[in-house]
Structure 1
Amino acid sequence: MGVKERKERQKTEMREAILNAALKLFSDEGYDNVTMRKIADKIEYSVGTIYLYYKDKSEIFFELHNRGFAEFYKKQLSVQHIKDPIERLFAHGEAYVQFAMEYPEYYDVMFISRTPSKELKKNEHWIEGERTYDLLKLNIKQAMEAGHFKGVDLEVAAFSLWSFVHGMASLYVRERLMMMPTEFIKPLIKGALQFLSRAY
């Protein structure tokens, strides 16, 4: 490996270290309570080193936000092969909750963190976030075309279904289901989705 390649690898590794540390801190302490110095302390580097890679914590938050949505989109695409539109839609819901269970810190940054990034507000047309919601609406639209959700507005249906699965995911991520035995949680969530599907 040449000098140039080694330097690029070191830069990539440093970025990953910064992002991983920030993700943990944002999730555990909240955006407002995290500083660039705290991130630096977490990886045992000087705060000046962090500023060589990111101009502020807002930029770090935005990159984590987009990374999370990119992975989230992959998870949603994993059920698109299902032919029956209503089965696909509720598999979509399961994939949503599964993502939250597998990546709770990312889910927290993406959907629960109270303080959004300034960078996120500037990017009104951020692709990663929009396409995930568009995929949900596509699946609902195809379910409607197959005779489901009669008389329901597409936007209302999308918002309602998103709110339903988000509620379950948030309860899990924020550890509000701790009173339940761990082995009951996944079957309970699946049962809740099946319960909803019977209404349509």
Structure 2
Amino acid sequence: MGISERKEREKLDKKQLIRSAAMKMFLEDGYAKTSIRKIADAIEYSPGTIYLYYKDKDELLYDVQHDAFNQLLEAFKTKAKHKDPVKRLMQIGQTYVSFGLQNPELYDLMFIIRAPTNVDEELHKDNGEPTFDYLVDCLKECIDKDLLRMNDVQLCALQTWSVAHGLVSLDLRCRLKVMSADIDKSKVLNSAIESYVKLLIK
């Protein structure tokens, strides 16, 4: 490995260390209570070192969210891979719900707090697009095979995502208390996803 390659590797390793520390603190202490100085202290860097890689906390959050979306994408690839696109669509919805319920703080970081607004997205990786495309590709296959009532893939993807997001958000914000106290929430939410997909099928 040459000097330039070694320096690039060291730079990537430092950025990963910064992102890992930031994610841990965002999840444990909350985004608002976490500062660049606190992150720097946790990894024994100076704040100035972090600013060599990220101009502010918004830009750092953007990269942390990118790592989180990759976790969701890997969950899709592992748990939502049925050959039948309709069954795979159900698996995507149920995997999304399961991911949100099992990772409430991470889900909050990804979807509930405001999205970073002070970021030049041209200089960063697509944030969440590959994860969303996994859903879109499944819906395209369903539509190409004439399996769904809808034929607008983007509208269908938005609607499907909204249903799954709504279910997770209601639970994470403790809004399902209006339902019977003895219900199995996970089972009910998965059944809701299944019922929704069945409404889409011709």
Q: State if a TM-score over 0.5 links the two structures.
A: yes
Distance 2:18 2:182 in 1: 35
Aligned partner of 2:86 in structure 1 is 86
Distance 1:77 1:188 in 2: 24
One-letter code aligned to 1:163: S
One-letter code aligned to 1:99: F
Secondary structure in structure 2 of the residue aligned to 1:83 = coil
Q: Give the deviation of 1:161 after TM superposition.
A: 0.4
Instruction: Tell me how many residue pairs correspond in the alignment.
Output: 185
- Contact preservation (8 Å) 1:94, 1:190: yes
Aligned partner of 2:100 in structure 1 is 100
One-letter code aligned to 1:144: I
Distance 1:105 1:71 in 2: 14
Distance 1:84 1:188 in 2: 23
- Contact preservation (8 Å) 1:93, 1:193: yes
One-letter code aligned to 1:75: A
In the superposition, the TM-score normalised over structure 1's length comes to 0.75
- Structure 1, gaps ≥5 residues long: 1-7
Aligned partner of 1:191 in structure 2 is 191
Distance 1:171 1:187 in 2: 15
CA deviations 1:151-189 (Å, max 9, x no partner) are: 431111111001100111222333333566586110011
Aligned partner of 2:50 in structure 1 is 53
Describe the shift of the 1:23–1:64 C-alpha distance in structure 2 as closer, same or farther (beyond 3 A).
farther
- Contact preservation (8 Å) 2:101, 2:168: yes
Percentage identity across paired residues of the two chains:
29
Q: Give the deviation of 1:64 after TM superposition.
A: 1.1
Aligned partner of 1:19 in structure 2 is 23
Q: Give the deviation of 1:38 after TM superposition.
A: 5.4
Q: RMSD of the TM alignment (CA)?
A: 3.2
Aligned partner of 1:73 in structure 2 is 73
CA deviations 1:124-153 (Å, max 9, x no partner) are: 873351111111111011112333223431
- Contact preservation (8 Å) 1:90, 1:193: yes
Mapping for residues 1-200 of structure 1, pairs under 5 Å: 16-26=20-30, 31=32, 34-37=34-37, 39=39, 43=42, 49-54=46-51, 55=54, 56-119=56-119, 121-123=120-122, 126-178=125-177, 181=181, 184-199=184-199, 200=201
One-letter code aligned to 1:132: T
Secondary structure in structure 1 of the residue aligned to 2:175 = coil
